Amino acid sequence: MHITKDEILMGRDKQFPDDYNDEISNNIDKLLIPLNQFRELYGNSITISSGWRPPSINIKVGGASHSNHCLGLAADLHDPDGKIDAFAQELDKSGKLKELGLWLENPKSTPGWTHLDIKDRGDRASNIFVP
């Protein structure tokens, strides 16, 4: 089962229409491609715990001031047992995370969830980053 745009939007496009625009919509469309490829490789269902965030929501949750969530470039996945993080780290070791164009926030910084985004950080040995 594919992750949908509605799951990334979490109804916030309707709640905060002044913050939602074509650029964010297009970014989410781009994010969904590698995110769904990741989900297919993972082989299990994935629950989005945080997708697109308008600035007011981002502040409330303590998000970074320039969060990729605000641009529609990131999603957090519910991962209470760390299995998704472990899987993503294995994909990074094999080079598959880089091939997908996904970046994983260091799991030590995200207990209980997995952060994946598509912000290009240049050519690095690993697609795991420290915020």
Structure tokens given for 63 = 């998000």
Cβ(68)–Cβ(35) below 8 Å: no
pLDDT tens track for 68-118: 999 999 999 999 999 999 999 999 999 999 999 999 999 999 999 999 999
Structure tokens given for 74 = 């990131």
Work out the pLDDT band at 121, boundaries 50, 70, 90. Answer: very high
Residue ranges per structural domain of the chain: 5-111
pLDDT tens track for 10-61: 999 999 999 999 999 999 999 999 999 999 999 989 999 999 999 999 999 9
5-111 CATH fold: Muramoyl-pentapeptide Carboxypeptidase; domain 2 (3.30.1380)
